[in-house]
Structure 1
Amino acid sequence: MNLKYFDEGSPANAQENFYVFVNPSICSAQDLLVFFYHSLWLPGYFGFNWDALYDCLCDLSWIKPRKIIFFHEALPNLGEDDLKIYLKLLIDVSAQWAGRYDDLREFVFLFSANDKNKIEKITQGF
């Protein structure tokens, strides 16, 4: 699982990686999907739902850098159910790429250490 934590600041090396700075003020699943549509240059056929986001994250052939880092200064302000779906989706995408596709793409999902307990509680049993 590529969920990692940081204490403060943002990671360096932006030239070799593709960074997505997830806005912590996002407060709905729809706003998060629109955010990813713009931030990841998702195709016009993107369906603006969780399944469509999963499908696009399992492709991203239009993004050149191998490593994509999703930087969460804080968790998006989603409802409990949507936050659970979002975190499960990130874990599933990471697992999809792991192993056989490691040479093509690497996903890193960075979260604030302040959110670690909440994330671990939500993802327990995934």
Structure 2
Amino acid sequence: MFTEADFSCYASLHDVLQNHSDDFVGIIHENITTTHELLSALYEVLNFPGYFSYNWNALEDCLSDLDWVTQKRVVIVHKSIPKIGNQDYQQYLDVLKTSIESWKPEEEHELLVYFPTFVSA
């Protein structure tokens, strides 16, 4: 079970929408149910290079590089939380967190990730 604290390093919708006109924004559609669907969606919306190999290591490599993107701020917006199973979801969050933290303010890019409001069951 995830808690709101698991999402503390990710952007709020306000952060995403503020000064968004110059951002590179990738919107991940709803109803993602497999890891392959998620990785494919990320490949498409973020224009990953052709060598992307659809695994967590490749995702982290691409999110930590982004040299094909000209905009400073890269934003990933999830329309819903991917339903890919807890283990894969935790791996995805870990990759996102590592990638977000890898970009320093003075570097070429800033990575923001938005998830819809977390609702505890």
- Settle same-fold status: TM greater than 0.5: yes
Quote the residue 2:12 is aligned against. Answer: 5
Counting only pairs closer than 5 Å after superposition, residues 32-47 of structure 1 correspond to structure 2 as 32-47=38-53
CA RMSD in angstroms, aligned pairs only? 2.2
Structure 1 residue 111: deviation in Å? Answer: 1.6
What is the CA distance between 1:24 and its match in structure 2?
A: 2.3
Equivalent pairs counted in the alignment come to: 113
Question: 2:111 corresponds to which letter in structure 1?
Answer: F
Paired position in structure 2 for 1:54: 60
For residues 82-109 of structure 1, what are the alpha-carbon distances to aligned partners after superposition, in whole Å with 9 as ceiling and x for unaligned? 110111110000111135xx33111111
TM-score between both structures, scaled by the size of structure 2: 0.81
Q: State the distance in 2 between where 1:45 and 1:103 align.
A: 24
Structure 1 residue runs without a partner (length 5+): 119-126
Q: Within the alignment, does 1:88 sit opposite 2:88 as a pair?
A: no
Letter of the structure 2 residue corresponding to residue 91 of structure 1: K
Secondary structure, counterpart of 1:20 in structure 2: strand
C-alpha distance in 1 between matches for 2:120 and 2:47:
32
The separation in 2 between residues aligned to 1:5 and 1:117, in whole angstroms, is 17
- Please give the alpha-carbon distance, in whole angstroms, between the structure 1 residues aligned to 2:65 and 2:11: 22
Residue 16 of structure 1 corresponds to: 22
Identity of aligned residues (%): 27
Structure showing the higher strand proportion among its residues = 1
Matches of 2:58 and 2:76, distance apart in 1: 18
For residues 98 and 74 of structure 1, the distance between their equivalents in structure 2, rounded to whole angstroms, comes to 27
Return the offset for 1:5.
Answer: 2.9
User: Structure 1 counterpart of 2:108, which letter?
Assistant: L
Query: Match of 1:24, SS?
Result: coil
